[in-house]
Chain A
Amino acid sequence: MSMTATVGHAHADPHHIGIVIEHPGPAPKRIVTAYGFWVFLLSDIVMFSCFFAAYAVLVSQTADGPKGSEIFEPHNVAIETVCLLLSSFTCGMAGIAADVRNRFWFYLGMAVTCVLGLIFLAIEFREFADLVARGYGPSRSAFLTAFFSLVGCHGLHVSAGVLWLLTMMAQVFAKGFRADVLRRMMCFALFWHALDIIWVGVFSVVYLLGGGA
C-alpha cells in the first residue's frame, strides 16, 4: 500500500536521481473502502457548508420574528453536545472492540453510542416541537428556516446513523467480525465522528454566534 523506493532502470528515472518511486499497484480493499468513504464524507461536508452559508446569509432576516438569542437554550445545547461528544468516544471504543473481536465490548460500546445518540435526538426534537408550538416554526421567518434546516439536516444524519448503527450490531450478531463487516464498521465510525465535527460547527455558528446576535 505504501510507496516503495527501488533503484530503478533508466527509463523510469528521467532526472537521473538514482531513486525511483515505483507505484506498487492497486491498494488493498480496506484502504480503498476507507478512502472512498472519506471522499463521500468530504462531499457531505460540502453539502452542510451550503446550509451553513444559508444560515449566515439569513441569520438576521427574522421578519419581525424572534432572534436567535430569544429562543436558544444554552442549557439544552450543552447537554446535547456532551451526549454527542461522549458518543463519539464510545463509538471509538466499539471500533477497538471490533478490531480485537470482542463481542461484549462491541455490543456495549455500540449500545451506549445508540442511547447517547437517541438522547441527543430526543432533546433536539423537543426543542423543535417546543418552537413550533410557540409559533416559531420554520415558515415563520427566513432565519428560522435556515436554523431548522441546518440543525435538522444534522439531526437527520444522526437518525440515519442510529439506523446504520443498529444494522451494524445486527450484522455482527449474524455474521460475526467478517472482513466486509469490519470495513463497514470502519465507515460507520468515520461517519459518526464526522457528525461530531459538524456538530461542533453547528454549535459554534448557530448557538454561540447566532445566540449572541
Chain B
Amino acid sequence: MLGKLDWSAIPFDQPIPLIAGAVVLVAILAVLIWVIVKGHLPYLWHEWITSVDHKRIGVMYILLASVMLLRGGSDAIMMRIQQAIAYQSQGYLPPEHYNQIFSAHGTIMIFFVAMPFVIGLMNLVVPLQLGVRDVAFPTLNSVGFWLTATGALLVNLSLVIGEFARTGWLAFPPLSELSYSPGVGVDYYAWSLQISGVGTLVAGINLVTTVLKLRTKGMNYLRMPMFCWTTLASNLLIVAAFPILTATLAMLLLDRYLGFHFFTNEAGGNVMMFMNLIWAWGHPEVYILVLPAFGIFSEVVSTFSGKALFGYRSMVLATMAICVISFMVWLHHFFTMGAGPDVNAIFGIASMIIAVPTGVKIYNWLFTMYGGRIRFATPMLWAVGFMVTFIIGGLTGVLVAVPPADFMLHNSMFLVAHFHNVIIGGVLFGAFAGFEYWFPKAFGFRLDERWGKLAFWFTFTGFYITFVPLYAAGMLGMTRRLQHYDVAEWRPWMVVAALGMAVLTIGVICQIMQLVVSIRNREALRDRTGDPWDGRSLEWATSSPPPVFNFAFYPDVRGEDAYWDMKSHAQQQSFEHEVPEYHDIEMPRNSPTGFICAFFASIMGFALIWHIWWMVILGGIGAFATFVVFAWRDHDEYIIPADEVARIDRINLEERRSLVSMAGAI
C-alpha cells in the first residue's frame, strides 16, 4: 500500500535532522496558524498564491531562494565545522550523514538558491525593462514557479522522511545506481530535479519568448538594456541545456527503476556517457547562472556611475559569445578520464577562450566607472566586490583549464575554492546587488544602507577568509568531500576556513537585520518617485511598486538608456506633461492552476520516490485534470477600465513631476 515507506524511514537514531525537521515543522505550523488566525489566508491566496503577475511571481521566486539559502548555508556551516574538528577523529557527523550534507548543499545551492534567485530577478525586472505589461505566458509562469517550489519541498522532505543522496550533487553513476545506492536518496535527488527542471524549462521558454516577441514600441534589439540581453542569453541556454538534464536523469531513473543499462557496469552500460551528458548540461548551467548576474552588474555599474554602459555593443557580442562557447567546454570537467591529449587540448583551449569575452565585460565595467560620478550605494559595493573576486575566480579557472595543471588539482579543495569563488563572487554577489537595487521597485521603499553595507563587508571578508584557505589546502593535496583526515598540514587551513564561515554567517545575519530594520522604517525609506537611484532603463519610468499593468501605455523608445533619454532630453511629454488618452487594459486573470499542478506534482514525486504506484496514477490523473479545467476556462482576462488606468497613472505622474521640479531646483 505504501510502497517502500514505513517507520524505518524516519531517522529516529539521528538527532540532528530530527531536531532540525521538528524546528522547521513547528515554524511552518506557527506561521500557518498565525496566517489563519489573523485572517490573511484569503489575501495570500488571491494576491500571491494564485497570482499570475510577473512581479509577484518574481518576488516569490526570490523568497524561495532566500529561505533555501538559509538551508544550504546551514549545510555549509556543518561541513566547515566537521572538517575543522575531524583531524584524526570522526568529527561530530557520521560519514553517511556527512555525505548527505555535501550532496544536499550542492543540489540546494545550485537548483534552489541560485536558479530561483536569478529567475526571480529576471521575472521581476525584464518585462518592466522591456516596457510591457507581462511575460508571454503568465499562467505558465506561475506553473513554473510552483513546480520549482515542489522540487524544494521534496528535497527538504528527505531530511526527515528517508534520506538524501550520498553521491555528490551530480549523482555520478555507478555510485548512484541501484546496486551502490539502494536507498531512496538518489530518487529524492532525481525526482526533485526532474520536477523543478520542468519548471525551469517553462520559465526559460517564457522569458525567451518575452524578450524576442514582447518589446515596447521602438525597443530594437540594440536598445534593450543589458540585463535583457543577458536574460535572453541565459534563457536560450536554459532551453537548450535543461532538456539534456531531463534526459540524463530520466536515463538514470530508468536504470534504477526498471533495470535498464544506460550507465551500469554490466550489460554494456557506459558510465562516461553520463559524464558527457550531465556536463553538457552542467557547464552551460554555470553560465545560465552567471550571465544574468553580469546583466545586473551592467545595470548597477552604469546607474551608479551616472554614465551609459561603456561598449554596449561589445557587451552584447561578449554575452552572445559566452552563450555559444559555454556549450563547447564541458569536457574540461573530466580531463583526467583518458580522452587523450588531443581532445583535452581542444577543450582546454575552448575553456580558456571563454575568458576572453568575460574579460571584455570586466573592462567594459571598469571603463564605465572611469570618469563617472560614482556613488557607493550598497548595490555598487556588491558590484565592485564582484569585480575583484570574480577576476581571482576567473584566473584560477584558467589555471584548471590547463589539462596538466588539472591533473594535479582536479577533485581537490582547490577546485572547491575555484567554483565557490565564481559562484559566490559572481552569482550570489550579483543576486544581492540585484536584490538591493530592485527592492525599492518591488516594494516601494529602500533598504537600510547601513545594514546593507555591514552585510556586504562581512560577507566579502568572510568569503575570503573561508575560501583562500581552501585554495591552500587544495595545493597541499587535500581532496574534496573528506569526512575526516590525518594530514596535519591541512588542519590550520580548515580551522581558518571555519572561522571565515563564522564571519560569512554574520554577513547573512546582517542581511536579515537589514530586511527587518527596513521593513520597520519603511515609511522613512519610502520611494515616492519610482526612480530612487536616478536610473536609466524603463523599470524606473513607472511607480514603485508598479501598478499591476506596469505601464498605462506602451512607452515609445528612441534610443539606448530609454528612461535616461526621456529625462535628459525633456522628452517626458509622454510621461509628464501631455495628457494622454487612456484605454482599457486587458490583464490575465489570476489562476490557481500553478498551485494545483504543483500539489499533484508533489504527490506524484513523493509517490514515485517511495514506489507508491496507486498514488502516482492519482497524481497523474490530477495533473491532467488540472490542465483540462484550465483549458475549459471561458474568461481568462479581465478589463481594467480606462478611468482606473488614468487615476493610477495620474498619481504616478504627480510624484514624478515633483521629482522633475526638484531636480530642476538643484
Do the beta carbons of A61 and B268 come within 8 Å of each other? yes
Closest to A39 in B: B205
Is residue B273 contacting chain A, with contact meaning CB distance below 8 A?
Answer: yes
Complex interface: chain B residues within 8 A of A50 (CB): 243-244, 247-248, 251, 277
Whole-angstrom distance between the Cβ of B536 and the nearest chain A Cβ:
16
Count B interface residues, CB 8 Å: 53
Is residue A90 contacting chain B, with contact meaning CB distance below 8 A?
Answer: no
Is residue B372 contacting chain A, with contact meaning CB distance below 8 A?
Answer: no
A35 and B212 in contact (CB under 8 A), knowing A47-B246, A50-B277, A58-B268?
yes
Whole-angstrom distance between the Cβ of A49 and the nearest chain B Cβ:
8
A32 and B214 in contact (CB under 8 A), knowing A142-B262, A174-B632?
yes
Do the beta carbons of B216 and A26 come within 8 Å of each other? yes
CA distance A23 to B239 in the complex (A): 25
Whole-angstrom distance between the Cβ of A175 and the nearest chain B Cβ:
8
Give the A-B contact count at a CB cut-off of 8 A. Answer: 146
Do the beta carbons of B631 and A12 come within 8 Å of each other? no
Complex interface: chain A residues within 8 A of B201 (CB): 40, 43
Do the beta carbons of B267 and A21 come within 8 Å of each other? no
Do the beta carbons of A27 and B214 come within 8 Å of each other? yes
Do the beta carbons of B215 and A23 come within 8 Å of each other? yes
Is residue A99 contacting chain B, with contact meaning CB distance below 8 A?
Answer: no
CA distance A46 to B197 in the complex (A): 14
Do the beta carbons of B261 and A145 come within 8 Å of each other? yes
Interface members, chain B 204-237 (any A CB < 8 Å):
204-206, 208-209, 212-220
Whole-angstrom distance between the Cβ of B234 and the nearest chain A Cβ:
14
Q: Mark B304-322, 1 if CB is under 8 A from A, else 0.
A: 0000000000000000000
Surface stretch bound by B, among A101-109, A116-124, A133-141: A133-141
Whole-angstrom distance between the Cβ of B13 and the nearest chain A Cβ:
35
A54 and B251 in contact (CB under 8 A), knowing A36-B137, A46-B240, A143-B268?
yes
**Residue among A50, A57, A149 with the most chain B CB within 10 A?**
A50
Is residue A115 contacting chain B, with contact meaning CB distance below 8 A?
Answer: no
Is residue B25 contacting chain A, with contact meaning CB distance below 8 A?
Answer: no
Pick the contact of A43 from B243, B262, B557 — CB < 8 Å? B243
CA distance A36 to B241 in the complex (A): 17
Give the interface size class of chain A: 35 or more
Is residue B554 contacting chain A, with contact meaning CB distance below 8 A?
Answer: yes
Interface members, chain B 243-297 (any A CB < 8 Å):
243-244, 246-248, 251, 254, 258-262, 264, 266-270, 273, 277
Is residue A171 contacting chain B, with contact meaning CB distance below 8 A?
Answer: yes
Is residue A63 contacting chain B, with contact meaning CB distance below 8 A?
Answer: yes
Do the beta carbons of A142 and B270 come within 8 Å of each other? yes
Interface of A is mostly: helix
Do the beta carbons of A163 and B624 come within 8 Å of each other? yes
Do the beta carbons of A21 and B220 come within 8 Å of each other? yes
Closest to B212 in A: A35
Complex interface: chain B residues within 8 A of A47 (CB): 243-244, 246-247
Complex interface: chain B residues within 8 A of A44 (CB): 243
Complex interface: chain B residues within 8 A of A24 (CB): 217
Closest to A24 in B: B217
A25 and B270 in contact (CB under 8 A), knowing A36-B205, A39-B239, A145-B261?
no
Is residue B628 contacting chain A, with contact meaning CB distance below 8 A?
Answer: yes
Closest to A47 in B: B243
Do the beta carbons of A141 and B267 come within 8 Å of each other? yes
Do the beta carbons of B217 and A167 come within 8 Å of each other? no
**Residue among A21, A32, A145, A146 with the most chain B CB within 10 A?**
A145
Q: Mark B385-410, 1 if CB is under 8 A from A, else 0.
A: 00000000000000000000000000
A22 and B218 in contact (CB under 8 A), knowing A46-B240, A51-B247, A138-B260?
yes
Do the beta carbons of B220 and A23 come within 8 Å of each other? yes
Complex interface: chain A residues within 8 A of B47 (CB): none
Is residue B610 contacting chain A, with contact meaning CB distance below 8 A?
Answer: no
Ordered by A's residue number, 16 sampled pairs between the chains whose C-beta atoms are within 8 Å are: A23-B215, A23-B557, A36-B206, A39-B209, A47-B247, A50-B247, A50-B248, A51-B247, A53-B273, A54-B273, A57-B270, A57-B273, A63-B266, A139-B260, A141-B268, A142-B267
Q: Knowing that A9-B558, A141-B267 touch, tell me 7 more A-B residue pairs with CB under 8 angstroms.
A: A21-B220, A35-B209, A36-B137, A39-B205, A63-B266, A139-B267, A171-B632
Residues of chain A at the chain B interface (Cβ within 8 Å): 9, 11-12, 21-27, 31-32, 35-36, 39-40, 42-44, 46-47, 50-51, 53-54, 57-58, 61-63, 138-143, 145-146, 148-149, 163, 167, 171, 174-175, 180, 184
